[in-house]
């Protein structure tokens, strides 16, 4: 009974703390602007099944894809065993489903054990790739410090999960052989669970232990160790790159469906151009006191919620950066860093908003009793304090990063929005771009030519007879 009480208290605390963290992440994502979505649910469901569940884009690099699939599949199926662990924790009924499912239960647990062993091998391979082979994409400047440690911590936790579940199953196997298991409705019954791995691993590791009490302690250490790592993992996710375990699915579902080469129009610019072409536009002008709109994005509030969700979904795998032509040629741009910077800025804003301090309210809006909200927030910083203009200018808008991302994150969108703010709102930009802008404005062509861009069409006009 004591174990049940302790389990319920720990589980409730773990879920409560995790819920608070995930709720804040949701709040941070919704700091972004709303976005107009293409309503094509069938295509979105197809993308989710193939890319998020099916790992389709991962298999463009077959070796890491195979080992990642082992970990991914083991994670999904082990979740089924977690259901039984929760039943045991709340109702004190170990191996609750075994008496009812019999051979099918053995089959499912055997598959989980085989996948767990493969996941263990995959985890070791990933640790070797990160720390011994030192793949270049894992050792870029943005991966120093916490990102590097985070990538290793999550692998160590996966090893602990596998070791604890094997300890539990192995000790339970020996106890069942001796008719001493405390499995539900199985006390005093001898036999074997016949799980694929623990059927021989359990006797090999624990068969020499004579004391049944000691075996029960080992089994409970494995049981408690596994569930405590799960609770720790749940609370670790919100500060880890492995948040993609949860966000990859909504991110893929809500990803852009239009052509990757299609850029979003800015209505304010489009309407301005239309008014210039319309002789009656002068009669439709808005009020003189209307605020001049800002173009592009300066901070996370100007990005879309989809951009911010992509930043939280980023796996930091570096596939985008590894195919970026700017990064390959030694330029400062790294699409992965762009997404990491957006996430870090969203976290900073979220933490400041949690304080509710008046110092984070824009001076012009500090009225008596004013409360800190997204609309009046101003800490004197922006995304440009995280992302340099040198990085933004290096982007060739080739979409290589968009194509490479295994969970359909689009780093190009925020890059373009930040560049638009710099050029259209700040009237800034690289000096060697200015002749191009002037030429486009005067002749409609990027090249400085004396004639109008469409002058050649005059040759197509029929000549008078």
For 42-79, what is each residue's pLDDT tens digit? 999 999 999 999 999 999 899 999 999 999 999 888 88
Of residues 158 and 276, which shows the higher confidence score?
A: 158
User: What is the fold, at CATH topology level, of the domain defined by 295-443?
Assistant: Fumarate Reductase Iron-sulfur Protein; Chain B, domain 2 (1.10.1060)
Of these ranges, 193-202, 227-236, 445-454, the one predicted with the greatest mean pLDDT is 227-236
Residue 304: helix, strand or coil by DSSP? strand
286 pLDDT band (50/70/90 cuts)? low
Tell me the two tokens of residue 123.
């985890």
d(CA 49, CA 251): 12
Report whether pLDDT(282) > 60.
no
State the pLDDT confidence band at 410, using cuts at 50, 70 and 90.
very high
Residue 361, strand partner residues:
377
pLDDT at 141 over 80: yes
Average pLDDT of the segment spanning 115-132: 94
C-alpha torsion sign, points 444, 447, 452, 455? negative
- State pTM to two decimals: 0.88
The rounded percent of the chain whose pLDDT value lies above 90 is: 65
Q: What mean pLDDT is predicted for residues 378-402?
A: 94
The answer on pLDDT for 165 being more than 80 is yes
- Give the CA diameter of the chain: 114
Judged against a pLDDT cut of 60, whether residue 272 lies above it is answered with yes
Tell me the mean pLDDT in the region 179-191: 74
Give the pLDDT band of residue 279 (cuts 50, 70, 90). low
Q: Describe the crossing of helices 198-206 and 146-177 by its angle, rounded to 10 degrees.
A: 80
Token pair for 358: 């008046």
Q: Give pLDDT tens digits for 79-100.
A: 888 999 999 999 988 888 888 8
CA 3/CA 400 separation, integer angstroms = 53
296: nearest Cα among 372, 392, 379: 392
Instruction: Say yes or no to pLDDT of 232 above 60.
Output: yes
Segment 400-426 mean pLDDT? 93
For the chain, counts of helices (H) and of strands (E) = 18, 0
- Give me the mean pLDDT over the 196-204 stretch: 92
Confidence of residue 278 (pLDDT cuts 50, 70, 90): low
CA neighbours within 13 Å on the CB side: how many for 183? 28
- Of the pLDDT bands very low, low, confident and very high (cuts 50, 70, 90), residue 427 is confident
The rounded mean pLDDT for the chain is 88
Q: What percent of the chain has a predicted confidence (pLDDT) above 70? A: 92
SS3 content of the chain, % helix, strand, coil (to 5): 65, 0, 35
295, 421 Cβ separation under 8 angstroms: yes
Closest to 28 measured CA to CA, from 316, 307, 294: 307
Question: What pLDDT sits at residue 287?
Answer: 47
């Amino acid at each position: 009974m004591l174990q049940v009480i302790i389990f319920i208290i720990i589980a409730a605390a773990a879920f409560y703390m995790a819920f608070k963290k995930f709720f804040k992440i949701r709040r941070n994502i919704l700091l972004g602007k709303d976005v107009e979505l293409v309503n094509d649910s069938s295509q979105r469901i197809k993308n989710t099944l193939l890319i998020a569940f099916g790992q389709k884009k991962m298999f463009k690099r077959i070796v890491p894809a195979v080992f990642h699939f082992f970990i991914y599949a083991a994670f999904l199926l082990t979740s089924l065993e977690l259901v039984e662990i929760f039943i045991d924790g709340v109702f004190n009924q170990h191996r609750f489903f075994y008496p009812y499912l019999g051979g099918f239960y053995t089959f499912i647990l055997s598959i989980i054990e085989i996948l767990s062993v493969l996941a263990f091998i995959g985890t070791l391979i990933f640790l070797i790739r990160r720390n011994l082979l030192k793949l270049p994409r894992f050792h870029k400047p943005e991966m120093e410090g916490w990102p590097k440690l985070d990538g290793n911590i999550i692998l160590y936790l996966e090893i602990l999960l596998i070791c604890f579940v094997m300890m539990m199953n192995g000790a339970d196997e020996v106890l069942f052989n001796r008719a001493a298991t405390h499995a539900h409705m199985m006390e005093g019954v001898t036999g074997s669970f016949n799980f694929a791995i623990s059927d021989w691993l359990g006797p090999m590791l624990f068969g020499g232990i004579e004391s049944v009490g000691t075996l029960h302690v080992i089994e409970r250490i494995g049981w408690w160790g596994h569930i405590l790592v799960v609770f720790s993992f749940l609370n670790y996710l919100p500060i880890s790159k492995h948040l993609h375990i949860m966000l990859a699915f909504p991110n893929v579902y809500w990803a852009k469906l239009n052509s990757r080469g299609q850029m979003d129009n800015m209505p304010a610019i489009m309407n301005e151009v239309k008014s210039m072409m319309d002789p009656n536009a002068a009669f439709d002008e808005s009020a003189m006191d209307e605020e001049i709109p800002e173009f592009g994005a300066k901070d996370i509030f100007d990005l879309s919620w989809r951009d911010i969700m992509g930043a939280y979904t980023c796996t930091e795998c570096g596939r985008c950066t590894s195919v970026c032509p700017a990064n390959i040629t030694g330029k400062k741009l790294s699409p992965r860093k762009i997404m990491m910077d957006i996430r870090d800025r969203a976290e900073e804003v979220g933490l400041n908003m949690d304080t509710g301090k008046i110092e984070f309210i824009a001076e012009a809006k500090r009225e008596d009793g004013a409360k800190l909200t997204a609309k009046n927030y101003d800490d004197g910083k922006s995304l440009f304090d995280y992302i340099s203009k040198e990085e933004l200018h290096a982007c060739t808008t080739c979409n290589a990063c968009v194509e490479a991302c295994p969970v359909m994150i689009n780093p190009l969108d925020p890059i373009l929005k930040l560049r638009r703010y710099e050029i259209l709102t700040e009237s800034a930009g690289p000096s060697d771009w200015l002749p191009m802008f002037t030429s486009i404005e005067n002749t409609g062509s990027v090249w400085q030519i004396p004639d109008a861009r469409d002058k050649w069409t005059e040759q197509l006009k029929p000549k008078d007879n």
